[in-house]
Structures are given as C-alpha cells and as structure tokens.
Amino acid sequence: MTQQVNLYQPILRREKKVFSAVAMLQFLGVITLVMLALFAFNRWQLGELQAEHQRLQEQERALAARVTEISRERTAQPESRELRRQLEAAQREELLKRKLVDLMARGTGGSTVAFSEAFAGLARQRVTGLWLTGIALEADDMARDVTLSGMTTQAEFVPRLVQQLGSEPAFQGVRFRHMRVYRPENGSGNALAFVLSTRPAEEEGK
C-alpha cells in the first residue's frame, strides 16, 4: 500500500502582487508632477541668479567708471587726501565686485546655487568705512563654514556687517562664532583688520 503526502501547500507559495494599470498610471502621474515642479523651481532659481549676476556686472561697470572719474579729478587737482581716500575705496569695491562676478560665473559643483546666493548677498552689503579683502566658503551636506576678512576704520562697523548679513536669505542660520578686530603690524593709518568666522577661535588656522 502506497501513500503520497503532498508537502507543497499553496499557502507556502509567494504571492504575486499585481498592480493595476490605473495604479501604475497614477504613480507615474505623481512622479511626473514632482519632476515638473522641480524643473520649474530650478528654472526660476536660475533666472534669479542670472538677474543678480547681471546686476553685479552693471555695478562693477559703474564702479569702474567712478574710479576713472576720480582718477581724472585727482590728476586735474592738487594732491587731496579725500580724493585719494575715495579712489582707494572705489578701487577696493570694484575689485571685490569683479571677484564676485567671476566666482558667480564659474561656480561648479552641487553647491553652486548656495555659493552664488551667498556671494550675491555679500555684494549687496554697504557699510561705509568697511571693506572685505578675503572670502572663504566651504559647504557639505551637513554644514557650511564661512570666513570673512577685511579692513575697517572703526571696530563697531564689524558687528554692523554681521547684523546686515543676518537679513540675507543665504545667511539665515549662519552663526559667526569668532570675531577678531586688530591693528595689523605693517598697517598704515587708522585702518583695523578683522576676521569673522563660523568656526571657533581654536579651529582657526587649522
């Protein structure tokens, strides 16, 4: 007498999930809408950056014309300390604008937009008696480090710059944890040097 036992039970079989055509179409529709929204946002953001880049170029050209005008006035008149000061200030601002325009034009990598917005925000700052001589930006997925260096005729102008940067969208949440104002060893006149950094003082220079 022979008995056969069927150990393969239907319950042990892996069930196949079948998606209906309607569900698949709905899923594809949602993906398409998300992609279109991202595309539209990127186009808008690119347009804003291009407009800001154009404004910076116009400001740089205006500053170049101002430098030429002051140089002409200085040549036509006797030596003037005020004209020399105006010329030096205009030259510094023109150089900074030119650097910002160049950095925005050739920015690369995934952080291009963030860097461009930060540079544009810096270019909009107006603190008479203060000018930047160095800008360092580092960014990754977790944080962003900012270090600014420059010169100022009065120490209280540095906190004013920090306050103004706080109103810029690109600097929202950026906290400067180290501020140093000092008189450079080889400096001339009454100008002071300063350094602003999001890194603590003990990390500076590493």
The CA distance from 133 to 166, in Å, is 20
Instruction: Tell me the C-alpha distance between 131 and 149, whole Å.
Output: 9
CATH level 3 topology of 127-206: Alpha-Beta Plaits (3.30.70)
Contact 195, 179 (CB under 8 A): yes
More confident residue, 100 or 126: 126
Higher pLDDT, 145 or 188: 145
User: How far is 48 from 54, CA to CA, in rounded Å?
Assistant: 10
pLDDT band at 156 (very low <50, low <70, confident <90, very high): very high
Residue 190 clears pLDDT 80, i.e. is over it: no
- The confidence score (pLDDT) of residue 16 equals 54
Residues 6+ apart with CB under 8 A from 73: 83
- Predicted pLDDT of residue 141: 47
Instruction: State residue 45's pLDDT score.
Output: 65
In the predicted structure, residue 65 carries a pLDDT above the cut 80? no
Q: Where are the domains of the chain?
A: 20-124, 127-206
Q: Kind of pairing, strands 130-139 and 178-182?
A: unpaired
Over 50: is that where the pLDDT of 188 sits?
Answer: yes
pTM over 0.85, yes/no: no
Residues 163-185 pLDDT 10s: 998 888 888 888 899 999 998 87
